[in-house]
Amino acid sequence: MSTLTAPADTAQTLALDVRDLTVHYGRRSRRKPVPPAVDGVSFAIAPGETIGLVGESGSGKSTIGKAVLGLQSATGGSISFFGDDITHAAPARRRALAAQLRVVFQDPYSSLNPAMTIGETLAEPLRLMGVGKAEAARRARTALERVGLPASAAERRPRQFSGGQRQRIAVARALVCDPKVVVCDEPVSALDLSTQAQVLNLLADLRDERGLSYLFVAHDLAVVRFLAQRVVVLYRGQVMETGAAAAVVEHPRHPYTRALTAAAPVPRPAEQAARRAAREAMGIGAAGLGTPSTAGCPFASRCPLATDVCRTERPALRRVGDSDVACHHATD
């Protein structure tokens, strides 16, 4: 469905290839069907590339990250890591993958074990990989220095660090195993603005020097614009728009992406008021767009792609300008 799905001959070189991913929570029954949290999402990440996943709360961003990490089962579709299908990888395979596919979570306070020293926390994944104690400790100190902390931080515990320092430690823990792909789930949203900038610059530097790929989950479009080359905009588990970060953030095509960019806070009150007016002119209220469905498609009057009566539940992605945009109208 998505044009972001890579052609078969390049699939081997992709760091991550997510195709038609669907995830349901809870038990599914015919009598009481549960809507999927993620519904037919496709995207691919090349080595060294960052893809930003954006969308309002509940749009399915974290669920995609969890499915990639093997923390939540996919109910449909596939996830490949450097050409290897890991969708339903067995626990042993997942443990082996854990060094190459790492995560940085949002909360720098709960993501570090308060009972362990920083050195123990960083050495733990290396020890699980079979690295000797002295070598693991050496690599932990090197990783701390790389994220701008002294090697002596290894002797201390999480409570002795600020939020920004803890997030640097979380980045060091993700990188200590020399991974290929890092899932960053809102890694700066709990930090103040100047600390956010420091951590984002660190992530960008590390990506560029190591050729890392990031799956970068965020609700803040400015943050995504800074770090990601491409963006996937999600709404209720479906892709609404994808394309180069500059195109999607600065020239959004889909009404939902426009609503997201219009809702992003800006420091200037006049611009904020203009955005609110633009949002209202599009008929987009604070509650969002409503459910795109076969009945009363919300885009019918302003769809740039087709004017047929809407007949599809799951939108197709069509090229508009530089982006791929969800169209809820059938073309057949």
Ligand X SMILES: Nc1ncnc2c1ncn2[C@@H]1O[C@H](COP(=O)(O)OP(=O)(O)OP(=O)(O)O)[C@@H](O)[C@H]1O
Interaction pattern, residues 9-28, with ligand X; x per rule: CB under 6 A: ----------------xx--
Q: How far apart are CA 273 and CA 288, in angstroms?
A: 18
In whole angstroms, the minimum distance from the beta carbon of 49 to ligand X comes to: 21
Specify whether the CB–CB gap between 232 and 51 falls below 8 A: yes
With 0-12 CB in 10 A as exposed, 13-18 as middle and 19+ as buried, what is 300?
Answer: middle
Q: How far apart are CA 202 and CA 179, in angstroms?
A: 16
* 326, containing H or E segment: strand 323-327
Q: How far apart are CA 253 and CA 325, in angstroms?
A: 7
Among 6, 37, 147, 245, binds ligand X (CB under 6 A): 37
> Is the CB of 26 or the CB of 269 nearer to ligand X?
26
Q: Does 55 contact ligand X by CB under 6 A?
A: yes
> Is the CB of 106 or the CB of 121 nearer to ligand X?
106
Q: Does 189 contact ligand X by CB under 6 A?
A: no
Of the candidate spans 59-67, 113-121, 293-301, 311-319, the one that interacts with ligand X by CB under 6 A turns out to be: 59-67
Q: How far apart are CA 254 and CA 251, in angstroms?
A: 9
Q: Does 29 contact ligand X by CB under 6 A?
A: no
In whole angstroms, the minimum distance from the beta carbon of 91 to ligand X comes to: 20
Round the CA-based radius of gyration of the chain to a whole number and report it: 21
Kindly state the number of chain residues that form the binding site for ligand X, as judged by CB under 6 A.
12
* 249, containing H or E segment: helix 245-250
Q: Which residue type sits at 107? A: D
**E strands within the chain?**
16-23, 38-45, 50-54, 76-81, 84-85, 101-104, 181-185, 213-217, 230-235, 238-244, 316-320, 323-327
Of the candidate spans 14-22, 58-66, 116-124, 220-228, the one that interacts with ligand X by CB under 6 A turns out to be: 58-66
List the one residue out of 60, 101, 95 whose CA is nearest residue 77: 60
In whole angstroms, the minimum distance from the beta carbon of 25 to ligand X comes to: 3
In whole angstroms, the minimum distance from the beta carbon of 118 to ligand X comes to: 27
Among 19, 21, 40, 60, binds ligand X (CB under 6 A): 60
> Is the CB of 37 or the CB of 228 nearer to ligand X?
37
Among 42, 63, 261, 323, binds ligand X (CB under 6 A): 63
Q: Does 61 contact ligand X by CB under 6 A?
A: yes
Of the candidate spans 56-64, 139-147, 203-211, 306-314, the one that interacts with ligand X by CB under 6 A turns out to be: 56-64
Interaction pattern, residues 231-250, with ligand X; x per rule: CB under 6 A: --------------------
Q: What is the 3-state secondary structure (H, E, C) of 75-86?
A: CEEEEEECCEEC
Of the candidate spans 50-58, 76-84, 132-140, 305-313, the one that interacts with ligand X by CB under 6 A turns out to be: 50-58
Q: Does 164 contact ligand X by CB under 6 A?
A: no
Q: How far apart are CA 53 and CA 303, in angstroms?
A: 23
Q: How far apart are CA 47 and CA 15, in angstroms?
A: 5
What is the contact surface with ligand X in residues (CB under 6 A)?
25-26, 37, 55, 57-63, 219
